[in-house]
A and B are shown apart, each in its own frame.
Chain A
Amino acid sequence: MVILQTKNLCHDFSGMKVLSQVNLEILQGERHAVIGPNGAGKTTLFNVITGTYHAKGGSVQFKGADVTRTEPYQLSRMGMGRSFQITSIFLRQSAFQNIRLAVLSRRKIRYNLFKPIDSINIITNETEQILRQINLYDERNVPASTLSYGKQRSIELGMAIATQPDLLMFDEPTAGMSKEETHNAVRLIRRLTEGKTMVIVEHDMEVVFSLADRITVLHHGEILLTGKPEEIKNDRRVRSAYLGDSEV
């Protein structure tokens, strides 16, 4: 079953073409990676899908509904969760408070002005459960700004997970990480997305090939190829466009 589909998606920034005729299909339950050289339009594609920009042409369909002009908060409510390439968390607040905000959203508690938040046990329990999943339970009460970069990235992922979306969109989750941090992050992502649908934009080939079920290669704003990791590895066009001659 197709959960997300883009049809002839086009986007430009004041005339500069960034995406042209992108037809992407994400299947329910797969881990799908979008790769491509710098400037290929990966992040733009990501932002058009998640509602940051509205596409100049074509359409985006999510769970059968046209979401081309849908706002980010509505997409989130429909079950699309995303993380950010540049860490976008609540730095002045604790890991607990960060995750709790996402849990509130999932529980559809948006305008509750009547009950102290600390006394809503289901929220607290669910938040703590997610903190355990992302290995931050012991550091849940220190301000996020004092945590290491890798841990801040974990919060970033944790917030995306905590809304329990049907489709997870990860924008370069390992950006700026050391080798070891990347290794841990991949393990975390694999564990968190078990049985879930995920789209990941990533630079790091190791990450891509160890996580993805299918891969789409984007080049100059167009889809070059979609296929299984082995097919991508062995495709000559991909090699020349992106991988160069280096060993993969």
Chain B
Amino acid sequence: MKITKGHFIIGLLLLAALAAYPFFSGVVYTNLFVRFLIFALFGASLNLLLSYTGLLNFGHAMFFGVGGYATALLLEHMPNAGLLTALFVGASAGALLALIVSPMLVRVRDTAFALMTLALNQLLFIACLKLRGITYGEDGVGGFSIPPLNLFGLVSVDITHPYNFFYFSLCIVGLGLFLMWYTTRTPFGSIMIGIRDNPNRVNYLGFNLPFSKTVIFTISGFFAGSAGALFALFQNLVSPDAVMHIQNSFTAIIMVFVGGIGTFIGPIVGAAIMTGLENLAVRYTEKIFLFNGLLLIMVVMFFRGGFVGLYNLAKAKWGSK
């Protein structure tokens, strides 16, 4: 696709709309949008595994959770650590966890792989609950100081203000999404897709399968960790239920499917739809999973390509006239 003047103008308008968004929507919807952004980043990091490498990870929340805990604990114990340092530590924690669990995960495939990820997620969930000395158990780590964003020692921005946090997360998520998208365009991205479609042949072509998968997990873990770190800064609280719970893993998978598996933008669209739906549903019932589940069933039964797939179908049918 060639970038035309039209694309450029649309991009600028979109950017302007995003910049103006908080002033039109107010605090509640600004925070809702931040939630969407965080889950878009988290969903996209899962998508690297699910859509690009063909790995169904049922435990992606462990990377998110570890990222959140790392950032929260760092700020709890070292309130003077910088904001970006805290974020980077969270992301690195996700990557490190991925490195640690990779030797186990790269040896198994399909169902065994999915169950192994599930088990690891549960293990970390229980660890967070039980290691009270470190994680404060069920209560979680909260009320830690959130440092201001210090730009080259020139300006200091208080990101506890919802609007400021909105811009901050917009930049971080935007950067994260761009880096992931870029990854898919590199030679390594091609190898990922090769692993998805025919791992055996990739092996015979001279690529070290276990090591390549380890690299992919680490990248994915890094971005999931950064989403978790952002979440910790956003909520000023991480607890096992909020970040490490298996439900987060499922939510990310559902986002990929609802948005459209096999596309880069899928989980981002999925995150938008799920966050919006949740916000609507919560007005009438607490049982929002009822709606999430129903939506997933509909997608799986009637439109496998998700909303992106629907859009493409519609475009093919009516767009070319």
List residues of A whose CB falls within 8 A of some B CB.
50, 71-73, 76-77, 82, 84, 88-93, 97, 100-102, 104-106, 109-118, 120, 123, 159, 163
Contacts and interface: CB of A to CB of B under 8 A. Distances in A.
B265 interface: no
Contacts of B207: 73, 105, 110
Contact of B187 (A76, A82, A89, A115): A115
B4 interface: no
B192 to A, nearest CB: 11
A72 B210 CA distance: 12
9 contacts: A76-B204, A77-B206, A84-B201, A101-B205, A105-B206, A109-B187, A114-B186, A116-B185, A123-B187
Nearest to A144: B197
A93 B215 contact: no
B183 interface: yes
CB-based closest 6 A-B pairs: A76-B206, A105-B206, A112-B187, A90-B197, A116-B185, A105-B205
B197 A104 contact: no
Nearest to B215: A111
B190 interface: yes
Nearest to B201: A88
Contacts of A109: 187
Q: How large is the interface on B (under 10, 10 to 19, 20 to 34, 35 or more residues)?
A: 20 to 34
Contact of A73 (B182, B189, B194, B209): B209
Contact of B198 (A90, A106, A112, A114): A90
B247 interface: no
B208 interface: yes
A110 B205 contact: no
A89 B198 CA distance: 7
B315 to A, nearest CB: 19
Interface string B212-247: 100100010000000000000000000000000000
A72 B215 CA distance: 20
Nearest to A123: B187
Q: Which among B189, B197, B202, B215 has the highest number of chain A CB atoms within 10 Å?
A: B197
A77 B206 CA distance: 5
A118 B185 contact: yes
B188 A112 contact: yes
Contacts of B203: 71-73
Nearest to A104: B187
Contacts of A92: 197
Contacts of A110: 187-188, 191, 207-208, 212
Contacts of A72: 203-204
A90 B197 CA distance: 6
Nearest to A102: B205
A117 B190 contact: yes
A88 B200 contact: yes
A73 B208 contact: yes
A14 to B, nearest CB: 22
A186 to B, nearest CB: 23
B201 A90 contact: yes
B197 A93 contact: yes
A163 B206 contact: yes
A163 B201 contact: no
A101 B192 CA distance: 10
A97 B190 contact: yes
A54 B34 CA distance: 53
Interface string B77-92: 0000000000000000
Nearest to A88: B201
Contact of B186 (A88, A105, A112): A112
Contacts of A118: 185
Contact of B194 (A82, A90, A120): A90
A101 B198 CA distance: 12
Given A89-B198, A101-B194, A111-B215, A117 B186 contact: yes
B193 interface: yes
B160 to A, nearest CB: 35
A115 B186 contact: yes
Interface in B105-161: none
A89 B194 CA distance: 9
Contacts of B204: 50, 72-73, 76, 82, 88
Given A110-B188, A123-B187, 20 more contacts: A50-B204, A73-B205, A73-B206, A73-B207, A77-B206, A88-B200, A90-B193, A101-B190, A101-B194, A105-B206, A110-B187, A110-B191, A110-B207, A110-B208, A114-B186, A115-B187, A116-B182, A117-B185, A117-B187, A118-B185
Contacts of B215: 111
Contacts of B186: 112-117
Given A101-B191, A104-B191, A113 B201 contact: no
A114 B190 CA distance: 13
Contacts of A73: 203-209
A104 B205 CA distance: 9
Contacts of A116: 182, 185-186
A109 B203 CA distance: 14
A82 B193 CA distance: 21
Nearest to B205: A105
Contacts of B208: 73, 110
